[in-house]
């Protein structure tokens, strides 16, 4: 039996408005609420509501044989609560079927696993509690931001109590091995790692509407047959993708919604195929192969590493400045200014450094599609202007002088870069 896991990532960041240097000290409005609301409501109309209705119908019509998993970031949950409550209710209805697993992650889709271990744990625990409150599930599966993974992150995830971890089936990681089995990250004791099958996943997420692709048009019946033929001896297939693929990145006019309406039904007609959530795959596959993960891998761009967020000097400068400020933000929060930590965490969302990428060719096209800025340099300038103004407010809250601020920055830099 080959088990197929559909995992959908749901995320929207808090985009910054064009905050200029001369506005320092004049306003506290860093985020473009009108743009963020516009995008959220558009995606809810095009993707979340129609796809959730489609998936709910599929679960009901197959008597729960179709099963899938969702990870929803804290930032998208907050926006859904504020601007599209009916879409949030549609996610809750899916979770209530018993056929949908809710997956844990960082609350702010951040790079905290790379920047600060304490903050990583804080974001994960806060988000876990929120998922329990909203969906009535206590997650046992974890996915890190953009599937960023190495042995240290895997060990931290296991220490937090999670039993299953999702990752990218990168060729550079597997070194000739196939992704269609259960792994155990080296250095962990009992953590199951389930990897993304990127060729099949990307056929849907990226190539579906490309008329120059040799597989175009992708039809549900022939795709189901191909999946069965090419995975006949495999245990597991991970179809992981952004949920916004359906109706937003790939518009309804491409046929993507009708494709997803029929694909589960055709797959269930194929012999030897079923659907499982990640937690169910773990229980069904107790035998796991140890997998070394000596450096970070992700599902982003062709390199499948950290270069989507931490490749150029702008990205490194922004990331380091953000995490250098964190100890003082915590102090300000303890002194009665928790809203400053809320702002900091919205700035920690990985999208902000993603917009600063200077990647070229196909990767660059993807970065430009998601970015609200005219150029990576523009995004860097806006981000640093906001961070400078937030720094001023934090220092005022804790009563730090410019000299004390310089000394604290130097100590933090030494601790981060021994």
Active site residues: 146
Which stretch of DSSP H or E encloses residue 291? strand 289-291
Which stretch of DSSP H or E encloses residue 55? helix 49-61
Q: What is the DSSP string of 197-211?
A: -HHHHHHHHTSTT-T
Rg (CA), the chain: 22
* CA–CA dist 258, 252 (Å, integer): 8
Which stretch of DSSP H or E encloses residue 299? none
Listed in sequence order, the residues at least 6 apart from 155 whose beta carbon sits closer than 8 Å to its beta carbon are: 185, 187, 188
Which stretch of DSSP H or E encloses residue 33? helix 33-43
Whole-angstrom distance between the N-terminal and C-terminal Cα of the chain? 50
* CA–CA dist 231, 400 (Å, integer): 61
Q: Are 139 and 102 a contacting pair, CB within 8 Å?
A: yes
Q: Smallest Cα–Cα separation from 44: which of 94, 91, 95?
A: 91
In the block, residue with structure tokens 């006019």: 253
270: DSSP letter: S
Is the omega angle on the peptide bond into residue 389 within 30 degrees of 0, that is, cis?
Answer: no
């Amino acid at each position: 039996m080959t088990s197929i896991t559909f995992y959908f990532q749901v995320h929207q960041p808090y985009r910054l408005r064009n905050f200029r240097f001369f506005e320092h000290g004049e306003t506290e409005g860093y985020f473009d609420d009108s743009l963020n609301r516009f995008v959220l409501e558009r995606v809810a109309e095009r993707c979340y509501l129609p796809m959730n209705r489609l998936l709910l119908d599929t679960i009901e019509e197959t008597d729960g044989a179709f099963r899938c998993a969702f990870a929803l970031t804290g930032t998208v949950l907050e926006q859904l609560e504020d601007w599209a409550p009916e879409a949030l209710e549609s996610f809750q209805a899916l979770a209530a079927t018993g056929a949908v697993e809710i997956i844990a992650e960082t609350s702010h889709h951040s790079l905290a696993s790379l920047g600060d271990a304490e903050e990583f744990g804080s974001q994960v625990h806060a988000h876990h509690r929120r998922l329990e409150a909203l969906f009535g599930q206590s997650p046992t599966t974890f996915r890190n931001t953009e599937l960023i993974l190495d042995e240290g992150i895997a060990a931290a995830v296991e220490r937090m109590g999670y039993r299953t971890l999702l990752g990218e089936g990168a060729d550079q990681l597997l070194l000739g091995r196939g992704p269609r089995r259960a792994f155990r990250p080296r250095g962990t004791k009992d953590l199951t790692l389930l990897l993304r099958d990127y060729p099949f996943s990307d056929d849907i997420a990226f190539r579906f509407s490309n008329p120059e692709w040799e597989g175009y048009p992708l039809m549900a019946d022939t795709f189901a047959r191909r999946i069965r033929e090419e995975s006949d001896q495999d245990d597991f297939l991970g179809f992981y993708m952004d949920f916004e693929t359906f109706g937003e990145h790939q518009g309804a006019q491409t046929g993507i919604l009708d494709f997803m309406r029929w694909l589960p039904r055709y797959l269930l007609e194929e012999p030897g195929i079923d659907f499982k959530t990640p937690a169910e795959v773990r229980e069904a596959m107790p035998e796991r192969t140890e997998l070394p993960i000596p450096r970070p891998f992700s599902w982003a761009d062709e390199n499948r590493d950290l270069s989507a967020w931490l490749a150029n000097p702008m990205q490194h400068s922004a990331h380091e400045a953000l995490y250098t400020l964190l100890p003082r933000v915590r102090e300000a929060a303890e002194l009665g200014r928790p809203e400053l930590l809320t702002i900091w965490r919205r700035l920690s969302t990985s999208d902000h450094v993603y917009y600063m990428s200077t990647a070229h060719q196909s990767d660059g096209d993807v970065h430009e599609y998601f970015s609200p800025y005219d150029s990576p340099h523009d995004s860097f300038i806006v981000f640093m202007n906001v961070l400078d103004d937030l720094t001023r407010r934090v220092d005022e809250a804790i009563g730090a002088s410019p000299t004390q601020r310089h000394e604290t920055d130097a100590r933090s830099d030494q601790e981060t870069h021994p």
